[in-house]
Structure 1
Amino acid sequence: MKPVAFVLGSALAFAAGCAHAQVKAHAQASVQPHFAHRFAIELTGNAAYYTMTVPQSVYAASARSDLGDLRVLNGAGEPVAYTLETQGDALSVNRTRRNVEWFALPGSNGDTSAGASLGVTIAADGSLHARSPAQPPTAQRHDELVDLGADSATIDAVWIHLRNDSYQGHVSVEQSDDLRTWEPLGDAELLRASRDGKMLVQERVAVDGLRRRYLRLHWADSEPDIGSIEIETSTRTQAVPDAAHEPWRDLRVRAGQANGEYLFDTDGAYPVDALRFGLPQRNTVVNATIYSRAGAGQPWQQVADASLYRIESNSGETTNEPVQIGANTDRQWRVLVDTRSGGLGSGLPGVAVRWRAAQLTFLARGNPPFELAIGDRMLTSAAVSRAELLTGGTPEIAPARLGEAKAVALPEAPPADAGQDRDATRRYVLWGALIAAVSVLALLAVKLAKGSAPGK
């Protein structure tokens, strides 16, 4: 019986091996991504890294809400490392320093009128002038009075430049608009010291929360010998991105089934952060509630409440500002307008959406041509952090741009007269050969069994 067991075991092992190979081959074929869209990437110069703003066509082609199906491929079809960064609400901050007028104050003589006890007079424009050109000796000083001037810029700090070779002392700062009422603003430790030919200096006093024109510096320790006083100002302006970074896109609006209901769709997973409405009739004011959802069959989620208006006057037409929201990648949108005062009247509103496009940076490994592939819902993001991607100091990053869409071979459709997939014939042939082989082995086993029976 041992030969029979051996033959049967070999047959089963052969069948199991063939089945495993078939399953493995099918699994390997199934994990190969199929991108619905491919775009050429045009490079500038010869650099290791390239960057580009993700255009609208890529968002429209994505099958996911996070661009997780995006890949950058080299000429051999290999994926390369990349990072995706969404630009935030960046502020452009310009910092400058300028000298300001300051006055060493004598001790109070009991006169409490504005500026009198301080030894200064206030001009019509608010500027301060010393009553006497002579400054009191250091030993008789207790405070300094600082005139910040009429500056609309934000004041972040006061710099007190010392003449002392060595000084350490504590200063507290108060603010006032009329030299009568003073509010505490902040304090700091000033330091000026030298050692081994090196100078250690701390002369900056942060004044966050400054709202008044005049400052009073009070010294808890000995008064320093002040050379000059500067203020550090900053102007903050919203960074204005170009059209590629923050595009507006008009959408088609349709009336819903309910009174005052309007619906519109985006054709991609754009990270919408603002909506702009255009009302169909002049002199309209309505309250509206905005909803969104990822797709049909899902519940509507409230996004924002807004007051929409379009008012005409002698000076022109006034409309409401765009409705600001957090980045929202939902594709379906709904607006419900309060109709108790007539709603929007006749006509449909105009709607435009704005989004802040992501920045794609990739490492150009391998040979060109490079391409951007997208559109496989089964993929998840392969993006790495910027710190992981940009290693080795400060690398040169050259610009790139999205080129023309490339032709993509679609999966073969199943025959019209068969409900089978394209691999059905191949699988049937393989399984038929497997069954035939096992049958032959089984027949041989039966013959061997008869030949080894007693009496044969």
Structure 2
Amino acid sequence: MIGKLSVAVVGLCATWSVWAQETPADFTTQVPLSVSGNGPWYRLELPLAVQLGARQADLSDVRVFNAAGEPQAYALSRQSPQHTENRNVTEVKWFPLYAADTHETLPDVVVKSSAEGTLLEVRPSTAAKPGKQVLRGWVLDASAIKAPLQQLSLDWSHEQEGFQRFSIEASDDLQHWEAWGDGQVARLSFADERVEQHDVSLPGQPARYLRLLWQGQAAPLLTSAKLTSATRSSLPMPLVWSQPLAGSRLKAGEYSWQLPTGLNVERLRVELKQPNTLAPVTLAGRRDSQQAWQPLSNGVLYRLTQNGQDVVQDELPLPGQTVTELKLQVDERGGGLGVEAPALRVAVRATQLVFLARGEPPFTLALGNASAKAANLPLSTLIPGYNAERFNTLGQAQVAGGVTVTSPAAAAVVDTGPNWKKFGLWAVLLLGVAALGAMAYSLLRKPAAVR
């Protein structure tokens, strides 16, 4: 009889566990996934548009289910576990590049270097004609730097104010050049203050030489050129940007934006519609309307026309802390940003989700449950013997179709109705208790056997 009682109790516990297990219907957003490559582990870069469906800033309410609605073991990774960095700043030599005019595509030069690759001379390939040659750019010698280049810092003659916009190219042999994008530095005077921008971000790749070519204007006379290099044990995930967010004007020179959910914002971009806009700004944020505003960043935003081209600085870096509201205060001595609040884009660190495929596809990503508890595992637990090199060999998962979202109205209707699942669980428990009571009563009434 004791054995029968044990079986009954175990059965009740198993029933409770099955009924209480999470299903895709417990989450407001479901996203179909497709998988490719070698399993059974698959990695998915969560699109920001999908992340906005979460109800918890740390994505504790993210789940993956198989075709049978069974949850899958998973891990979240916003950056590699180790991110130590050694940074070095090196003064480098620079060599002028001359051309017939500022619109010549590439100056024709002769380069002389030592056996070690150090630059000794850069000169025009033909004799310069008096009054016809224009300083078009500079070649920087980075041959002594072996680590990836992260930042370029320039200083130039104080007589030359305004914006300096140039292209950046890299080479290891002075013959083949790879485009590294555009750079921009500036020296401005505004309201009895001087605003200077000397630093330009580089893509974090090694190179022996850099070529800077000014676009549509003569290059300034450099007085200093420094390169910051960094050796990292791992690199953080890239940033992903949101769609434009509408804001509201609180008062003159003050605007606010409500984010769809709490986000660890690391950068933002303010839309500057009008040409010749100049706005010193201060940015603050908070997690909810009951908290005081906390300062996050400050800087000068501008969109100015120079030589027929727009020169734009519309981004601000942020510390990456969780915020749901942002407020921008503008010094209107620069003309302000207008009556309407400008559109705002925010950037967060890309998040990778890795799951262990169990059961049959298709798989579904579900999120949007404010009461869900975190269920993610560390990568080292999910993948035994995990290391950073193995991450790139995992299979890939992608969003395979439309996003299904349960409307708040529909959810409210369900919440206000009878909770049949809860009633069913109580009914099973009560029936089990009644059955156990009946069996115990039967044992007590049964007469003892005659020996």
TM-score normalised to structure 2 length:
0.52
What's the counterpart of residue 397 of structure 1?
394
Q: Check 1:423–1:321 CA distance in 2 against 1; reply closer, same or farther (3 A cut).
A: closer
Counterpart in the other structure of 2:142: 153
Question: Is 1:76 aligned with 2:68?
Answer: yes
How many angstroms does 1:390 deviate by? 2.5
Cα pair 2:302 2:314 within 8 Å, conserved: no
Q: Does 1:317 align with 2:315?
A: no
**8 A Cα contact 1:72 1:371, kept in partner:** yes
Question: What is the CA-CA distance between 1:63 and the residue it aligns to?
Answer: 0.6
> % of aligned pairs identical?
25
Q: Give the letter for the 1:155 counterpart.
A: A
User: Residue 279 of structure 1 contacts residue 348 of structure 1 at CA under 8 Å; is this kept in 2?
Assistant: no
2:39 corresponding residue in structure 1: 47
CA contact (8 A) 1:70 1:373 kept: yes
Provide, for residues 123-182 of structure 1, a one-character-per-residue CA deviation record: whole Å limited to 9, x for no partner: 8779xxxxxxxxxxxxxxxxxxxxxxx96225257xxxxxxxxxxxxxxxxxxxxxxxxx
Residue in 2 that maps onto 1:289: 282
Counterpart residue number, 2:292: 299
- Asked if 1 retains the 8 angstrom alpha-carbon contact of 2:269 and 2:344, the reply is yes
CA displacement at 1:353 relative to structure 2: 1.8
Q: Deviations over 1:17-60 (max 9, x none)?
A: xxxx9999999966746212222210114521111210123211
Which residue in the other structure is 1:11 paired with?
A: none
What is the SS of the residue equivalent to 1:327?
A: coil
Deviation at 1:61, TM superposition (A): 1.1
Q: Deviations over 1:287-309 (max 9, x none)?
A: 21112222333332221112122
Alpha-carbon distance, 1:280 to partner: 3.8
Q: CA deviation at 1:425?
A: 7.4
Cα deviation, 1:193-237, whole Å, max 9, x if unaligned, reads xxxxxxxxxxxxxxxxxxxxxxxxxxxxxxxxxxxxxxx969969
CA separation in 2, counterparts of 1:151 and 1:280?
36
Question: Does the CA contact (< 8 Å) of 1:280 and 1:350 recur in 2?
Answer: no
Give distance in 1, aligned partners of 2:44 and 2:426: 48
- The 5 Å alignment of 1:117-266 reads 152-153=141-142, 155-156=144-145, 246-266=239-259
CA distance in 1, matches of 2:13, 2:313: 61
Please tell me the residue identity of whatever aligns with 1:319: V
Q: CA shift at 1:70, angstroms?
A: 0.8
5+ residue gaps, structure 1: 1-20, 103-122, 127-149, 158-231, 438-456
Superposed displacement of residue 76, structure 1: 3.2
User: In structure 1, what residue type is equivalent to 2:56?
Assistant: R
SS of 1:273 mapped into structure 2: strand
Matched to 1:258, the amino acid is K
- Equivalent positions of 1:350-369 (< 5 A) are 350-369=343-362
| CA deviation after TM superposition for structure 1 residue 400, in Å | 1.3
Note closer, same or farther for the CA distance 1:415–1:391 as it changes in structure 2 (3 Å cut): closer
Q: Distance in 2 between matches of 1:382 and 1:344?
A: 44
Structure 2 partner of 1:36: 28
State the 1:62 CA deviation.
Answer: 0.5
Measure, in 2, the Cα distance between the counterparts of 1:46 and 1:24: 34
Provide Cα deviations, 1:50-108, integer angstroms capped at 9, x if missing partner. 112101232111010011111122233332222211147999x9xxxx95299xxxxxx
Whole-Å separation in 2 of the counterparts to 1:314 and 1:412: 58
| Aligned match of 1:100 | 116
Q: CA deviation at 1:254?
A: 3.3
Question: Which one has the largest radius of gyration?
Answer: 1
Taking the aligned partners of 1:306 and 1:402, their CA distance within structure 2 comes to: 37
2:269 maps to what in 1?
276
Distance 1:24 1:269 in 2: 37
Secondary structure (helix, strand or coil) at the match of 2:332 reads coil
- The amino acid across from 1:306 in the alignment is G
SS at structure 1 position matched to 2:52: helix
Aligned residues, how many? 300
Q: Hey, what's the Cα distance between the residues in 1 that align with 2:366 and 2:144? A: 49
Please, what is the CA RMSD of the aligned residues? 5.0
- Is contact 2:283–2:297 with CA below 8 Å preserved after alignment? yes
Q: Return the alpha-carbon distance in structure 1 between the equivalents of residues 261 and 252 of structure 2.
A: 28
Whole-Å separation in 2 of the counterparts to 1:427 and 1:298: 41
Say if 1:101 and 1:282 are closer, same or farther in 2 by CA, change over 3 A: closer
1:81–1:362 Cα contact (<8 Å) kept: yes
Equivalent residue of 1:267, what SS? strand
Measured after TM superposition, the shift of residue 351 of structure 1 is 2.0
Return closer, same or farther for 1:415/1:32 CA change in 2, 3 Å cut-off.
Answer: closer
- Kindly indicate whether the alpha-carbon contact (under 8 Å) linking 1:363 and 1:389 is maintained by their aligned counterparts in 2: yes
CA distance in 1, matches of 2:254, 2:230: 38
